[in-house]
Amino acid sequence: MSVTTAGPAQSGFSFGEYLTCLNGIVWREALRFLHQRERFVSALVRPLVWLFIFAAGFRQVLGISIIPPYETYILYEVYIAPGLMAMIQLFNGMQSSLSMVYDREMGNMRTLLVSPLPRWYLLFCKLLAGTAVSLLQVYAFLLIAWFWDIAPPPIGYLTVLPALVLSGLMLGALGMLISSGIKQLENFAGVMNFVIFPMFFASSALYPLWRVQEGSPMLYYVCDFNPFTHAVELVRFALYGKMNWVSLAVVVGCTLVFMIGAIYAYDPSRGFSRRGPAGGET
């Protein structure tokens, strides 16, 4: 208790004020998401296209092997479901960072950043808000996938939640870090080509790593090094009530690194504002 109160007392804010700030940021993000119905639909259509169309053609790709955490042979659509859940979060993470670039251009960010609360806290709230939105999308996807015979054990829907929060934070923090370096909205297309696609394809989302290793040992190392692979594996194991400790360590580590990086990059003395005028921030 004393620890909780010590923080705000030092910076001059009460716990309630921190909560009000968190509530404001999360609510704004939720409202924005709810008002953009096309965004919700497109966030669902993307993984569903992969599930219904792509997976249909690759049913035999897994061959005969039992891959942990599965305890028996599975169809390809069952395999890619966790990868698609992480893909939703990857796109969502990048989209929230896109919104930050937009906010900066439009001048909304100034309103946020003039808040007297510490900057790291504002950014963390923004990350939490983005993660909460991604959770809505992922659970909506899981509901539709259930009708497609992708039915993990019932407890899996609960155990996957902390894993999704962690992977959502990691991917959101990565997006935030990237957004700090983007000056204009138009440049965001580059993020698609240079971040989202390589991260998604060079991971275990679409193919198990042993399959990748058969094709190219070099690519296997790239995939294994990719934090997105570990986000996928963490989600995959958690969905079946199991824990992948290596992936957990990688995801936690990367979340911290990306988050610290983003906080550093958004510091006015070092971040974008010093790099010159851009849009609404001029």
Partner 1 sequence: MWRRYLLSGLALGLLSAVPARAYVAYVSNEKGNTVSVIDTDSWTVTNTIKVGQRPRGIEYTRDGKFVMVAVGDDDTIQVIDTKTQQVTDTLPSGPDPELFTQDTTGKVLYVANENDNTVTVIDLEKRARLGDIQVGVEPEGMAISPDDRVLINTSETTNMAHFIDTSSRQVVASVLVDSRPRFAAFKPDGSELWVSSEIGGTVSIIDPQKHAVTGKIEFAIPGLRKEAIQPVGINMTRDGKTVFVALGPANRIAVVDGASHAVTKYLLVGQRVWHMAFTPDGKYLLSTNGLSNDVSVIDVAAQKVIKTIQVGELPWGIAMQP
Query: Which residues contact partner 1 by CB under 8 A?
Result: 59-60, 64, 66, 71-75, 151
- Toward partner 1, which CB reaches closer, 38 or 71? 71
Contacts of 24 (CB under 8 A, 6+ apart): none
- Toward partner 1, which CB reaches closer, 55 or 125? 55
Q: Please report how close the Cβ of residue 86 comes to partner 1 at its closest, in angstroms.
A: 24
Q: Please report how close the Cβ of residue 72 comes to partner 1 at its closest, in angstroms.
A: 4
Are 259 and 166 in contact by the 8 Å Cβ rule? The answer is no
Q: What CA–CA distances, in Å, run from 219 to 194, 195, 225?
A: 17, 16, 10
Are 93 and 196 in contact by the 8 Å Cβ rule? The answer is no
Are 80 and 205 in contact by the 8 Å Cβ rule? The answer is yes
Q: What CA–CA distances, in Å, run from 281 to 238, 268, 273?
A: 42, 12, 8
Q: Please report how close the Cβ of residue 71 comes to partner 1 at its closest, in angstroms.
A: 5
Q: Please report how close the Cβ of residue 66 comes to partner 1 at its closest, in angstroms.
A: 6
Q: Please report how close the Cβ of residue 12 comes to partner 1 at its closest, in angstroms.
A: 46
Single-letter code of the amino acid located at 78: V
- Toward partner 1, which CB reaches closer, 48 or 74? 74
- Toward partner 1, which CB reaches closer, 3 or 147? 147
- Toward partner 1, which CB reaches closer, 55 or 238? 55
Contacts of 223 (CB under 8 A, 6+ apart): 202, 203, 204, 209, 212, 229
